[in-house]
Chains A and B, each alone.
Chain A
Amino acid sequence: MPGFELLTRSLLGQLDDQLGGGPRSWSDLLIVRNVGPVLATQALDGDRVSNRGFNAILLGRDGEPSHYLKIRPAGNEAFRREARVHAFLGSHPEARHVVASGRTLLHGPMRILACEFLGGERMDVVLRKGKDEGRWSETVGAVLTASSPFWGALIQMAGGSGEGVKSTALENIALDLATLQEIGLGHEASAALGGRLVSVDLPSIPQHGDFWPRNILRVEQGWRILDLETCGEVDLPLYDVFHLIRGSVGATGGGGPGAWLASWEEFGPHSSTLRQALERHAGPLDPEQIEAALAGYLVAFTARLVRRGISRDRTAPWLKEVEMLPAVLDKGWVTCL
């Protein structure tokens, strides 16, 4: 029996209470997505399954998408993490309103996270439609406000406020900087950033880790956060805020590498939103810690791109921002707060 049919029958059986029973053609129910990255298959419990998995959309009886499925081999750590986060947030009184409800299902050696399919518009599309500064600020501000319960729930899930626990994100910063030096980061910039980062302690604050406009959806009831695979993997304070703002500036054209940093420094068009975001989300961090968090975010993310084998022309904008960073920070990036 074709794998599609087996998978679809299995899903429909397990989601019967939501989809309704009754006979129908099994083969017309799935759209399988993101198969490109799947590398060679491997044997697992007698079946042949991909070693990284794939995503799919399950259609309902009316032909409309009903579920968004993440299908991964058992043992996939990112999947386990996402399933745990979904289970916790789904029962959280406030955070459950900003994520899609999801259920973990089984299909042979595969694990499936079946989330409700959310109709709506991605944040990057929203930003592109309304490019003026007022709309940009309004949209970014609304997302940050709506996401507060989500971050609060992540802290609860990690077991507390994070006070007294140091972020582990800066432990590997020397290695990250060495990685960036291999692709052209100047020794001076590396030394300057290293010196700034090793002297600062930051509290451990769990983050979404992939909080950018493509993972945020505007629906009728507000905003929803997607793709929780990396939740809690990063515990660097403000990581999500920086990533969202950087991505949101880029979604509207961006003005090139470092435009969002320059905008801040020059009191440019996005600066007021940037400041308000930090005032609201930086908590007890002092300016030195905020700057360290910014440096840590850019260095760690760029090194991650390099280690994953992303081509140099695609990592170049990130590297340029890392190179700009010492000069930006020396001017007192957050002292205006």
Chain B
Amino acid sequence: MKTAQARETPLSRDSLGPEQIDSEPAEESCLNPLWIEVLPGGEAALEIPGSGVKLGPALRALFRRVEELPAESWGGPAATTRIPFQDRTFDLVTLYGKRPSTRALGEIVRVLKPSGVLYLAAWNRWWFGRFRKACPRLDSGRVYAGPRLAGLVRSAGFSVVRQYYVDPSLAQPRDILPAYGPSLRAHEILRWREGEAGRLRVSLACLRMSWLLYSGRIIVARV
């Protein structure tokens, strides 16, 4: 396997170059993966925020009207999972870090226009880092995406479902990887070939266990 431009290595603080200058974290960087979908129209979007992350600014730049569903009305025990809008209202619904029930997905299908898009960003239930003591906060109120989530989305009536892994995190995505074996294997080999940890990651990718390696997942589905 080739190795090349894409390999990342830690940098000392005084070794800045223009490439690193451009790579400075941006305030709104959590919005970025929106462009993996060619978004329709531009009339209306609905945001269902969660875990303190909001896509608002990005959506406002793309759509004439952006509605926000209060987080407390979604997913909790007292929630109605009723979206208080008419049928076929939105071009896009974003759901961030909230696991939808079958009934909730049905509501999303109802309010989406034909060919409307669901953008679902979630933390990966199987990410190895979740189990480290260093990350206890990850368990505070977040719901994780497991393999069944994509099936759940399909069964709710979405015809095109695509899955991506996000590295290193949803909040600061640097790489977006189609959740398919060749892409994940190539990514791991390019980035992590050296060192014991790197070899372990590559081995897991070759064994089709990449689902352990990434903290974030994105599911994009079209009605």
Stretch at the interface among B25-33, B77-85, B95-103: B25-33
Q: Which residues of A contact B139 (CB under 8 A)?
A: none
A38, closest chain B residue (CB) = B32
A124, closest chain B residue (CB) = B9
Query: Is A30's beta carbon under 8 Å from chain B?
Result: yes
A210 and B58 in contact, given A29-B183, A35-B32 (Cβ under 8 angstroms) = no
Query: Is A217's beta carbon under 8 Å from chain B?
Result: yes
Greatest chain A CB density within 10 A among B5, B7, B186 is at: B5
Query: Is B182's beta carbon under 8 Å from chain A?
Result: yes
The B contact surface, by secondary structure, is mixed
Q: Which residues of B contact A251 (CB under 8 A)?
A: 15
Stretch at the interface among A150-158, A198-206, A310-318: A310-318
B31, closest chain A residue (CB) = A40
A118 and B4 in contact, given A47-B38, A250-B15, A309-B24 (Cβ under 8 angstroms) = yes
Contact of B162 among A2, A230, A308 (CB under 8 A): A2
B21, closest chain A residue (CB) = A308
Contact of A217 among B5, B16, B17 (CB under 8 A): B5
B9 and A125 contacting across the interface, CB-CB below 8 Å: yes
Q: Which residues of B contact A120 (CB under 8 A)?
A: 2-4
Query: Is A18's beta carbon under 8 Å from chain B?
Result: no
B23 and A3 contacting across the interface, CB-CB below 8 Å: no
A1 and B4 in contact, given A38-B35, A40-B61 (Cβ under 8 angstroms) = no
A27 and B180 contacting across the interface, CB-CB below 8 Å: yes
Number of interface residues of B (CB under 8 A): 58
How far is B21's CA from A309's CA once the two chains are assembled, in angstroms? Answer: 9
For window 125-142 of B, CB contacts with A under 8 Å fall at none
Q: Which residues of A contact B31 (CB under 8 A)?
A: 39-41
- A51 vs chain B, min Cβ distance (A): 9
Q: Which residues of A contact B42 (CB under 8 A)?
A: 43
Contact of B29 among A25, A38, A256 (CB under 8 A): A38
How far is B36's CA from A50's CA once the two chains are assembled, in angstroms? Answer: 10
Query: Is A209's beta carbon under 8 Å from chain B?
Result: yes
Query: Is B148's beta carbon under 8 Å from chain A?
Result: no
A310 and B24 in contact, given A28-B182, A65-B4, A230-B18 (Cβ under 8 angstroms) = yes
- B162 vs chain A, min Cβ distance (A): 5
Stretch at the interface among A56-64, A287-295, A327-335: A56-64
A310 and B176 contacting across the interface, CB-CB below 8 Å: no
Query: Is A183's beta carbon under 8 Å from chain B?
Result: no
The A contact surface, by secondary structure, is mixed
A41 and B2 in contact, given A30-B178, A314-B16 (Cβ under 8 angstroms) = no
A-facing mask of B35-52, CB < 8 A → 1, else 0?
111110010000000000
Query: Is B154's beta carbon under 8 Å from chain A?
Result: no
Query: Is B113's beta carbon under 8 Å from chain A?
Result: no
Categorize the interface residue count of chain A.
35 or more
How far is B191's CA from A33's CA once the two chains are assembled, in angstroms? Answer: 11
Query: Is B175's beta carbon under 8 Å from chain A?
Result: yes
Greatest chain A CB density within 10 A among B28, B34, B38, B222 is at: B38
Query: Is A226's beta carbon under 8 Å from chain B?
Result: yes
Greatest chain B CB density within 10 A among A5, A25, A304 is at: A5
Query: Is B12's beta carbon under 8 Å from chain A?
Result: yes
A59 and B183 in contact, given A2-B162, A43-B42, A48-B38 (Cβ under 8 angstroms) = yes
Q: Which residues of B contact A117 (CB under 8 A)?
A: 2, 4-5
For window 211-234 of A, CB contacts with B under 8 Å fall at 212, 214-215, 217, 226-227, 229-230
Q: Which residues of B contact A35 (CB under 8 A)?
A: 32-33, 173-176
Query: Is B198's beta carbon under 8 Å from chain A?
Result: no
- B193 vs chain A, min Cβ distance (A): 11
Q: Which residues of A contact B62 (CB under 8 A)?
A: 41, 43, 48
Greatest chain A CB density within 10 A among B35, B58, B164 is at: B35
A interface residues (Cβ-Cβ under 8 A, vs B): 1-6, 25, 27-43, 47-50, 52, 57, 59, 63-65, 68, 117-122, 124-125, 209-210, 212, 214-215, 217, 226-227, 229-230, 243, 247, 250-251, 254, 256-257, 304-305, 308-310, 313-315, 317-318
**Could you pull out 26 A-B pairs where Cβ atoms are within 8 angstroms?**
A2-B38, A2-B220, A4-B162, A4-B178, A5-B162, A33-B175, A35-B175, A36-B32, A39-B28, A41-B31, A48-B39, A57-B186, A64-B2, A117-B5, A119-B2, A122-B9, A124-B9, A209-B18, A212-B17, A214-B19, A217-B4, A217-B5, A227-B19, A243-B17, A304-B21, A314-B13
Known interface pairs A39-B26, A52-B22; 19 further A-B residue pairs with C-beta atoms within 8 A, sorted by A's residue number: A33-B6, A35-B33, A35-B174, A36-B25, A38-B29, A41-B34, A57-B6, A57-B186, A65-B4, A117-B5, A125-B9, A212-B15, A215-B17, A217-B5, A304-B18, A305-B21, A310-B21, A315-B16, A318-B14
B interface residues (Cβ-Cβ under 8 A, vs A): 1-7, 9, 12-19, 21-26, 28-29, 31-39, 42, 57-58, 61-62, 160, 162, 164, 172-178, 180-183, 185-187, 190, 220, 222
